[in-house]
Structure 1
Amino acid sequence: MKIGYIRVSTQEQNTIRQEVLMESLGVEEVYIDRMSGKNTNRPQLQKMMDYVRHGDVVIVESISRFARNTRDLLELVERLSEKGVEFVSKKEAIDTTTPTGKFMLTVFGAVAELEREYILQRQREGIAIAKEQGKYTGRKPTVYPDFDKVYHQWRKGEITAVTAMKKLGMSKSTFYRKVKHKSVKVI
């Protein structure tokens, strides 16, 4: 069975180009994730990895749609290989049924990872330049005007932490970070 995996980085991005490719290749089952490929914690990827079985072929439009770093790519392909599943990347013309295909997979995986690192480096450099020019100040901190009042109610045991978070409309991590910051100020 031919199984396709499609990934775009955000909910707003379009999958049509990849879907048309899958249809033209006669793919019978398609799994689509709309999230970053920075790691393998993607629901549809995991569902597909559980679903595939001996004799199946997993097809992707390009390696970067499947994995963003060499380690993840090689681990995913190894898991497929252990199940007797072939891996094909159309853009890079990689087919893991051959020794050359396996070698090329490793090379292209390293190139995809390098490309990602270059993107991040350029982004950091651009932000640094914008900061120097005063054009980039980062996200404005969210102000919680009732924080002190709610914080003291929580400290006195009048309300639970969960209630305090709900009153403030704050996540658990934000609440405890602000509590920690407040405790440090008090000392």
Structure 2
Amino acid sequence: MDTARIQLPRHGLLTFTATTDADRGEVTYQFRAPHAAGALVLTPCHTALQHKEKALPNGVRIQFGTGERWPEDRRADLPTIYGVRLVSGVILDPFEYLCGDDWNRWIRFHRPTGRRTSCPAPDATTKYMSAIVAEVLIVWCSRPDVDQLVLAVARREAPGRLASIRTDLQRRRDEIAKLEAEIAQLETLAAGIRAVTETPEVSHP
């Protein structure tokens, strides 16, 4: 486990301990700061836009709390900021996010209102949590084993992705075969029509 301490402007000292699951490519950050505590689980992932275009993930999933992904509000160590408990998480491109201005770093977080419902958290909570997320991301991106974490996730997801790709390929091959059959029928019809128009006229005595 690795422990780090970072001074957050306007918020105070942020302390967090990182625990790595190399096989799953996950890093769990248990954090504590004035009026803030909880856990963030960071895992490399594909963003929605490039999921089918890249072999390796270049995004990161930040899960709030530890444990199973669903249901979100039943996880342990959910982040609590100013007494407001937060659920869910976020998927983003860490480098794009960190290179943005302060406004782009302001993620709209949610607090639970029921088992499957939530509402936006107060602005003060959102700003504080955004600052914590940014600092944890900076530390995660600077890890010497980030490439190994990315590769671990890619290998774990490879069988499922390959199966999905094979299904897509077969569907497209079937579509191509159907189109080729339709093209062949049209070509046969066109040839028949040309034969009619090209048949020389027969003169009768």
Q: TM-score, normalised by structure 1?
A: 0.29
Report which of the two has the higher share of strand.
Answer: 2
Q: TM-score, normalised by structure 2?
A: 0.27
Between structure 1 and structure 2, the one with the greater Rg is 2
Report which of the two has the higher share of helix.
Answer: 1
